[in-house]
Structure 1
Amino acid sequence: MIKKIIVLLAGMLVTVAVYAAGAQLRADHPDSYTVRRGDTLWDISAKFLSKPWLWPEIWQANPQVRNPHLIYPGDVLNLSFINGPRVGLQPSVHREGEAVPAIPLSELKMFLKDMRVMNSEEVSSAPYVVGLEEARLRGAVGQNIYVRGLQGEPGQRWAIVRPSHVFRGFDQDDAASADLVAHDLDSNAAMVRSPWREDSRNDGHYGKGDDLGVEVSVIGTAETLRTGDPATLLLLNATQEIRSGDRIMPLDESPYDAYYYPHAPKSVPANAKVIGFADAMDAAGPRQVVMLSIGAKDGVDNGQTYTIFEPGETIHDDVASNSWNRSFGERVKLPDEYVGHVMVFRTFDRVSYGLVMDGLRPVHVGGRLAMPE
């Protein structure tokens, strides 16, 4: 391991000069930095690079470096401008813990393992829980559940999911047709005949256009005991009580990447926007998860990094209108405002989850995505 880090050090001395134009050192970079527990590679890079998402280009440009994540707590990063930009890494003698990740994976466990965005038809046609042991209203671990429409063999394990959000665009006739929204499903989200019933407030404001997908939450796992219609499954574990109408899906054995490599996209789709928050009501900030209106079908992959801009407001021009009466006169749209950066960490067909990496102001729904410059 030490030998590999020494190779990394030697390669970085050459590579930083090559990429100096694109990955410049910040004017206020520290002379040295000791890697600490809880750090991420993005955080460390932001301390000395003007564009922290370019660190893989520096640390992975050498064919000898198999994995740019091999930096550990206790390692010392030295920076200087002697004969040009130089970066050096002094590995610690006693390595403890795991290598520093690119992003805080531990904080994203729920979204990496327990959340999926699926086509609405996939959800509505999936096998479903039709009843519970002893005609109970709710199922608990160790009890039998009965499922209709399930194909499989005894011993096969399944995920139990429940719809939580629907992602939808506006009608094309709507003046706000360029906008997209995500909104909660109501308490009847698991009904058998209608797998979800949208919020009663679902008018033009909440969107009536094309479905982008339905977010489902994995709330338990079960194992097939007997096949048939209905099939008998044993509930192995659950984070919520299981009820009739919950859907059955195959287990996702590898739901997320082990490593993330931040990189700029080749292009940004015109409809690329922030459409929802995971754990916020009105706005999100650094280290919070947001939903984006683009996915794999738009060429999005994990690690893509975007700049978020807040759309500029359209205001009344009092001077040009020669009036302070804002009911008429000339109006002007202000420039979009820079908000921060978001990195995609999980991608579905038409929706992606992103982690807000940094920012100067809160992220709101409708924030526009652009190239990370």
Structure 2
Amino acid sequence: MRTLTIISVILFTSLFSGLSFSAGEIGLRDDIPDRYQVVPGDTLWGIASRFLKEPWRWPEIWQMNRGQIRNPHRIYPGDVIIIENTRYGKRLRMASEKGVVRLSPRIRAEESAMRAIPVIPAAKIEPFLNQPLVIEKGKLDRAPVILGASDDRVILSTGDKVYVGDLPADQGVIWQVFRNGKALTDPDYDNRILGYEAVYLGTVEITDFAVISTAKISRSVQEILKGDRLLPLSSARIDDYLPHAPDFPVTARIISVYGGVNEIGENMIVTLNQGSHDRIEPGHVLAVYRKNDIRSHEGKPVSLPDERIGLALVFRVFDTVSYALIMQSTQAIKVMDAVKTP
């Protein structure tokens, strides 16, 4: 949560620090409210969506007003945002007064209810920030392996004690459990293999290092089996994370969706067939497009113009693939839909 809080400070202060603009320049919504009070559960993307047609254009606003930012502050539930008409256009700013945040008596003293709001739904992407997700071929086959439990059970889960082989003692006591997943292929380049997905199964804590080490399963999200492999816990830093459009043309494709569903909607995770080798970076906002082919009245195939059906925000990048959160969708998104610079 710390990194997302830092992001919140940068973005929201940028967005509402005495900003003036016209509706035509940035694209104000027609139904913008005169004032809005931040409530628990809000995100900066969601609040910006109440005022801007394209909330990802925050960086443009921030760049135009960089000199106005003096004392960045966090945005909390109860803060009030107001919109004013000035000779230069409409102006968004933080009101000096605070609104009343109504909480249930049972949670009135809960600290979590008054945390600074995040940029996007933090719970949606946090599980993906410290998992390998994509690995090179054969890497898991060389990783420490779960040998089993003392009672020789087949299926293992949270709370079980397990034994691990080939475990080094110099990489910490918290390890994640993975199983080989499917190969990720690039449909635009003869289905060349971009990498292999690692299926996250859970987390273990090492209680004793030895030739055969002992561990306790602290979390399981799927069944853990003999032969599953361990990788050390890692952490991806996104302190410089800022939603923005790429400054170069991007034409990529959705090649997979987390959870294996057929239709993709808002707040779902997708895999793209481009990564850092293609200059994709965390924070890139990409438009999702659907290609529609029909037959004319004469029965001839006709390719219609691509139709924009959503927005995706890249939050983690590997060499040849990246992961994005679907932020908006006007219809069901599908694997093989295109993503482009908006």
Relative to the length of structure 1, the TM-score reads 0.73
Report the CA distance shift for 1:260/1:16 in structure 2 as closer, same or farther (over 3 A).
Answer: farther
Query: What is the aligned counterpart of 1:246 among 228, 234, 242?
Result: 228
Q: Give the corresponding residue for 1:316.
A: 295
Query: What is the aligned counterpart of 2:133 among 99, 102, 116?
Result: 116
Moved more, 153-162 or 84-93: 153-162
Question: Is 1:283 matched up with 2:228?
Answer: no
SS of residue paired to 1:121: coil
Q: Distance in 2 between matches of 1:154 and 1:62?
A: 42
Task: Output aligned runs, 1:186-265, within 5 Å.
Answer: 209-223=192-206, 225-228=208-211, 231-239=212-220, 240-252=222-234, 254-255=235-236, 257=238, 260-265=241-246
Q: Distance in 2 between matches of 1:286 and 1:85?
A: 30
Question: Is 1:102 matched up with 2:119?
Answer: yes
SS of residue paired to 1:345: strand
Q: Distance in 1 between matches of 2:32 and 2:116?
A: 23
Question: Is 1:147 matched up with 2:165?
Answer: yes
Q: Distance in 1 between matches of 2:231 and 2:327?
A: 32
Q: Give the corresponding residue for 2:175.
A: 158
Q: Distance in 2 between matches of 1:124 and 1:258?
A: 33
Q: Give the corresponding residue for 1:46.
A: 49
Q: Distance in 2 between matches of 1:284 and 1:57?
A: 29
Q: Distance in 2 between matches of 1:91 and 1:354?
A: 36
Q: Give the corresponding residue for 2:26.
A: 23
- Report how far residue 256 of structure 1 moved: 5.2
Q: Give the corresponding residue for 1:73.
A: 77
Q: Distance in 2 between matches of 1:211 and 1:10?
A: 38
Moved more, 333-342 or 136-145: 136-145
Q: Which letter does structure 1 place at the counterpart of 2:66?
A: N
Q: Give the corresponding residue for 1:187.
A: none
How many pairs does the alignment contain?
317
Q: Give the corresponding residue for 2:188.
A: 178
Q: Which letter does structure 2 place at the counterpart of 1:73?
A: P
Q: Distance in 1 between matches of 2:228 and 2:218?
A: 14
Report the CA distance shift for 1:286/1:249 in structure 2 as closer, same or farther (over 3 A).
Answer: same
Q: Give the corresponding residue for 1:306.
A: 286
Structure with max Cα Rg:
1
Q: Distance in 2 between matches of 1:74 and 1:123?
A: 48
- Report how far residue 215 of structure 1 moved: 3.1
Q: Distance in 1 between matches of 2:284 and 2:77?
A: 26
SS of residue paired to 2:261: coil
Q: Distance in 1 between matches of 2:54 and 2:15?
A: 22
Q: Distance in 2 between matches of 1:159 and 1:309?
A: 36
Q: Which letter does structure 1 place at the counterpart of 2:93?
A: G
Question: Is 1:133 matched up with 2:150?
Answer: yes
Q: Give the corresponding residue for 2:105.
A: none
- Report how far residue 155 of structure 1 moved: 6.6
CA contact (8 A) 1:16 1:58 kept: no
| CA deviation vs aligned residue, 1:91-141 (integer Å, no higher than 9, x gap) | 554786111211011233433345622222322332222343244434453
Q: Distance in 2 between matches of 1:274 and 1:214?
A: 15
Task: Output aligned runs, 1:56-95, within 5 Å.
Answer: 56-59=59-62, 61-62=65-66, 65=69, 70-83=74-87, 84-93=89-98
Relative to the length of structure 2, the TM-score reads 0.79
Query: What is the aligned counterpart of 1:347 among 317, 320, 334?
Result: 317
Report the CA distance shift for 1:242/1:365 in structure 2 as closer, same or farther (over 3 A).
Answer: closer
Q: Distance in 1 between matches of 2:275 and 2:137?
A: 15
| CA deviation vs aligned residue, 1:23-54 (integer Å, no higher than 9, x gap) | 23233322221112211111111111132101
Question: Is 1:295 matched up with 2:262?
Answer: no
Q: Which letter does structure 2 place at the counterpart of 1:316?
A: R
Q: Distance in 1 between matches of 2:175 and 2:270?
A: 28
Question: Is 1:335 matched up with 2:305?
Answer: yes
CA contact (8 A) 1:153 1:227 kept: no
Q: Give the corresponding residue for 2:106.
A: none
Q: Distance in 2 between matches of 1:346 and 1:154?
A: 23
- Report how far residue 357 of structure 1 moved: 1.1
CA contact (8 A) 1:131 1:147 kept: no
CA contact (8 A) 2:13 2:73 kept: no
Report the CA distance shift for 1:8/1:131 in structure 2 as closer, same or farther (over 3 A).
Answer: closer
CA contact (8 A) 1:310 1:338 kept: yes
Report the CA distance shift for 1:145/1:10 in structure 2 as closer, same or farther (over 3 A).
Answer: closer
| Unaligned runs of at least 5 residues, structure 1 | 170-176, 180-206, 319-323
